[in-house]
Amino acid sequence: MFIVENLRYKRILEIVSLTISRPISCIMGPSGSGKTTLLRMLNRLNAPDEGRILYNGQDIALMDTIKLRRNVVMLGQMPVIYSGTVADNLQIGLQFSQRPPASDEDLRKSLAWVELDKELADSCHNFSGGEKQRLCLARIMLMDADTYLLDEPSAALDKNTERFIIEHLTEFVLRKNKQMVMVTHSEQIAQSFPQTIIRMEGGRVTEAYHE
C-alpha cells in the first residue's frame, strides 16, 4: 500500500494526496501527464523534491533502496536483456535484490509460467520483442516481490503479448495476495481490472476512483 503526500517533482508532478491500496490499480491519462514518472517514484527510481511516499507505513526515502526494490519491483516499457544465457537473465533479478539463486527446476518452471519454450543454456540474442518481454516477466515473477509496478508494455509489443503480460501478472498478483500498480492507455484494460483507477493530467491526479 502506498500513500503519497504533498509530492512535488521538478515541474512534472504535483500530487497533494493519493492512496494506492487495492490489489490492482491502473494509472491512466494522456501522453506526458506524468504516469511513468509517478510509477518510477514508487520504487525510488525518481526521488521527490518535496513531500513523501509511504510504503506500508514506511517513508521510502528512509528505506534501504535494495530492500525497497526487493519488495517493489518494476517491469518497464522496454524489456531489458543482459548478455549471457536464459538462466543468467532469470537469475539476475535475484542477484540485484541480493537473494539466493533459484534452482534450475524453478527457472524451468518460470519459463513454463510465461510459456517460453527455451532452454536455460540458450542465448537470448535472437529473441523476438515478445519473447524478451516474457523472459523479463519470468525474471520478476521469480523475485516473488510483494508489489509489482507495470509500465504499459504496449509501446514495444503487439497486442497479444501486451494482453499476455497483463493477464499473467494480474493472475499471479491476485493468487498470491500481492499488489500491482500499472500504467495503461487502454480504457478496456482498466475496466477489466477496475479496483482503483487513477487519472492524471498535467502532472496532477484528477480522479482516483476506488471500487
Ligand X SMILES: Nc1ncnc2c1ncn2[C@@H]1O[C@H](COP(=O)(O)OP(=O)(O)OP(=O)(O)O)[C@@H](O)[C@H]1O
Q: Is 45 in the site for ligand X (CB under 6 A)?
A: no
Q: Is 188 in the site for ligand X (CB under 6 A)?
A: no
Q: How far is the CB of 175 from ligand X (least distance, A)?
A: 28
* Binding span for ligand X by CB under 6 A among 32-40, 47-55, 120-128, 164-172: 32-40
Q: Is 156 in the site for ligand X (CB under 6 A)?
A: no
- Please pick, from the candidates 22, 35, 69, 199, the single residue that binds ligand X as defined by CB under 6 A: 35
Q: Is 12 in the site for ligand X (CB under 6 A)?
A: yes
Q: Is 76 in the site for ligand X (CB under 6 A)?
A: no
Query: Measured from the CB atom, is 12 or 78 closer to ligand X?
Result: 12
- Please pick, from the candidates 5, 19, 23, 37, the single residue that binds ligand X as defined by CB under 6 A: 37
- The angle formed by the CA atoms of residues 196, 37 and 49, to the nearest 5 degrees, is 110
- Cα separations in angstroms, 198 against 28, 49, 143, 180, 187: 6, 22, 27, 13, 12
Which residues, at least 6 apart from 197, have a Cβ–Cβ distance to it below 8 Å? 25, 26, 28, 190, 207, 208, 209
Q: How far is the CB of 82 from ligand X (least distance, A)?
A: 24
Quick one: cell of 61?
526515502
Q: Is 34 in the site for ligand X (CB under 6 A)?
A: yes
- Please pick, from the candidates 36, 91, 179, 196, the single residue that binds ligand X as defined by CB under 6 A: 36
- Cell numbers 513454463 correspond to what residue? 112
Q: Is 202 in the site for ligand X (CB under 6 A)?
A: no
- Cα separations in angstroms, 6 against 25, 140, 141: 20, 30, 32
- Please pick, from the candidates 25, 33, 110, 170, the single residue that binds ligand X as defined by CB under 6 A: 33
Q: Report yes or no: 149 and 118 within 8 Å, Cβ to Cβ.
A: no
Q: How many residues bind ligand X (CB under 6 A)?
A: 10
Query: Measured from the CB atom, is 34 or 93 closer to ligand X?
Result: 34
- Please pick, from the candidates 2, 15, 18, 29, the single residue that binds ligand X as defined by CB under 6 A: 29
HSE, CB side, 13 Å, CA atoms: give it for residue 106. Answer: 13
- Cell numbers 539463486 correspond to what residue? 101
SS3 content of the chain, % helix, strand, coil (to 5): 40, 25, 35
